Amino acid sequence: MLDNGGMKKKAHKNTKKTVRPQDGMPVGKCQFSNKKQYVSEDAALKAMAHNVQSRSARSIMRGWVHAGDPFYHPIVKNECRAYKCPVCKLWHLTSVADPEHVRLTTRELMELHPEAMAVADKWLRTNTCGTSAYGDLRTNVVRSLADSKVADELWVEEWLWAIARSLYSRKLRLGQWHEWARMIAEGYAKTDDVMKPDASSKADFALISHITTDTDEMTELFNTPAHIAIIAAWQAYLHDELSRLNREAEPEA
Ligand SMILES: [Zn+2]
């Protein structure tokens, strides 16, 4: 009996093998999503299969999987798919079945749009929009553009950020930023035309002076073609807001 016990212990030690990255050992954590990183899709799927096994093993024989197990997850996850992370370029697992519905974090979205963030910095880091407001505004705009699937081409447009800065003073809630972004996406689906502001037009002058703070900014916008979708969404937004204010101002009949 004693010998048998000793044998078992020894045999258990020998079957314990080192898990390699290609077999599903995570190689680190993504600094943007905080998810475990796997070297390939195959490795991620192996880890996922092991997670599923560990879950059923736990439910059948409690204590069979222990905290020292490299695959041990104290929280049950329902991962069903692996995807390549656009930011860290390694593989993660997700419980979201449809690839279209993986929602990137705002931080990931910013990493993916460096050119748009440069334009955002330019327009938002001025005295008209304090530094603490700047972060909130940028976050709300990025989130809204992504959720409404606004084309990348529009993310880098000077007009978009100039208008966003102007809208900020109206203290939009996140839902209103989404509404604005949705109007841009809808307008862009109808036309991707651009229009060049006309310096001799009083209407264009009024439009531009409304959202700029100095002559340098004015000159810049006069020389920058604007997507009609962006201008239309802005005007529609102001129109809705004006109608609401008018309705509220009218006494009940
Ligand atoms: Zn990642």
Phi then psi dihedrals of residue 116, to 5 deg? -65, -35
Name the helix (H) or strand (E) containing 91.
Answer: strand 91-94
Residues 244, 141 share a domain: yes
Mean pLDDT within 149-160: 95
Question: Does the pLDDT value for residue 17 go beyond 80?
Answer: no
Does residue 21 sit within a domain?
Answer: yes
**Do residues 205 and 131 share a domain?**
yes
115 shares a domain with 78: no
Domain count, the chain: 2
Q: How far is residue 133 from each of residues 117, 136, 168, 199, measured CA to CA in Å?
A: 15, 5, 9, 31
Query: What sign for the dihedral angle of Cα 128, 133, 139, 144?
Result: negative
Q: Is the pTM of this model over 0.75?
A: no
Pair (84, 205) in one structural domain:
no
Percent of the chain's residues with pLDDT above 90: 36
Q: Domain check: are 123 and 76 in the same one?
A: no
CA of 110 to the centre of ligand 1 (A): 13
Residue 111 CA to ligand 1 centre (angstroms): 11
Q: How far is the CA of 18 from the centre of ligand 1 (A)?
A: 24
Identify whether residues 141 and 245 lie together within a single domain. yes
| Cα–Cα distances in angstroms (integers) from residue 187 to residues 102, 116, 180, 193, 227, in the given order | 25, 20, 11, 10, 9
Residue 3 domain-assigned (yes or no) = no
- The per-residue pLDDT for 192 is 92
4 in any annotated domain: no
pLDDT at residue 186 greater than cutoff 80:
yes
* DSSP-assigned beta bridge partners for residue 81: 94
* pLDDT at residue 6 in the model: 46
Interval between CA 96 and ligand 1 midpoint (Å) = 15
What is the Å distance from ligand 1's center to 90 Cα? 6
Nearest residue to 107 via CA among 32, 176, 45: 32
Distance, in Å, from the CA atom of 230 to the CA atom of 115, rounded to the nearest integer, reads 18
Q: What is the rounded average pLDDT for all residues in the chain?
A: 80
Separation of CA 88 and ligand 1 centre (Å): 4
For the cut 70, the answer to whether the pLDDT of residue 2 exceeds it is no
Identify the top-confidence range among 17-31, 101-115, 148-162, 226-240.
Answer: 148-162
Residue 68 has pLDDT above 60, yes or no: no
Residue 77's domain spans which residues?
12-101
Residue 163: band (very low, low, confident or very high) from pLDDT cuts 50, 70, 90: very high
Position 145 confidence tier, pLDDT thresholds 50, 70, 90:
very high
Select the more confidently predicted residue: 70 or 208.
208
Whether 97 and 125 share a structural domain: no
Query: Where a domain ends, among 71, 101, 131?
Result: 101
Ligand 1 midpoint to CA 224 (Å): 36
**Tokens representing residue 211 in the block:** 């959202």
- Ligand 1 centre to CA of 84 (Å) is 8
What was the pLDDT predicted at 76? 53
Predicted pLDDT of residue 77: 64
Q: Is the model's pLDDT at 14 over the cut of 50?
A: no
CA atoms within 13 A on the CB side of 16: 9
Confidence grade of residue 216 (pLDDT, cut at 50, 70, 90): very high
CB atoms within 10 A of CB 163: 26
Residue 251's pLDDT band (cuts 50, 70, 90)? low
Asked if the structure places residue 2 within a domain, the reply is no
Find out whether 227 and 157 touch, Cβ atoms under 8 Å. yes
pLDDT at 5: 46
Whether residue 7 lies inside any domain: the answer is no
Distance from residue 177's CA to the centre of ligand 1 (Å): 27
Counting Cβ atoms within 10 Å, is residue 15 exposed (0-12), middle (13-18) or buried (19+)? Answer: exposed
Query: What pLDDT score does 11 carry?
Result: 47
Q: What is the pLDDT of residues 95-142, one digit of tens each?
A: 877 766 667 778 888 888 999 999 998 888 755 555 566 778 888 999
What is the Å distance from ligand 1's center to 128 Cα? Answer: 35
Residue 129: predicted pLDDT: 57
